[in-house]
């Protein structure tokens, strides 16, 4: 499954992350990953993130996509901007 997204320049997380040169926080990327999983599989309860790596930053307004592989209770994900890997990891439903 693939989901595309973009974080708007006026997202409330951006003013403090980082003033003058905003970057989308990793927790916002993870929020989008969880939303993509829930869109495909319904609400999730307790989760673990046994492995997450952030490789490159995402700037406000840039398009990115989430690639999901797996099914309940375990998914692998990749967050990409074009061919560039921004983040990857694993989500496990408890």
pLDDT tens digits along 22-76: 999 999 999 999 999 999 999 988 999 999 999 999 999 999 999 999 999 999 9
Residue 73 belongs to a domain with what CATH number?
A: 3.10.129.10
Residue 50: phi, psi to the nearest 5? -65, -20
pTM: 0.94
Report the C-alpha dihedral over residues 50, 52, 53, 59, rounded to 10 degrees. -170
Domain that holds residue 15: 2-93
Cβ–Cβ < 8 Å for 75, 49 = no
Specify the pLDDT at position 57: 97
Q: Give the total number of structural domains in the chain.
A: 1
Report whether pLDDT(94) > 90: no
């Amino acid at each position: 499954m693939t989901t595309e997204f973009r974080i708007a320049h006026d997202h409330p997380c951006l003013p403090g992350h980082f003033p003058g040169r905003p970057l989308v926080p990793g927790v916002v990327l993870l929020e989008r990953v969880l939303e993509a999983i829930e869109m495909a599989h319904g609400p999730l309860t307790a989760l673990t993130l046994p492995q997450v790596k952030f490789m490159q930053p995402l700037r406000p307004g840039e398009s990115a996509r989430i690639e999901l592989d797996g099914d309940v209770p375990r998914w692998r994900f990749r967050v990409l901007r074009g061919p560039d890997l921004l983040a990857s990891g694993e989500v496990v439903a408890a």
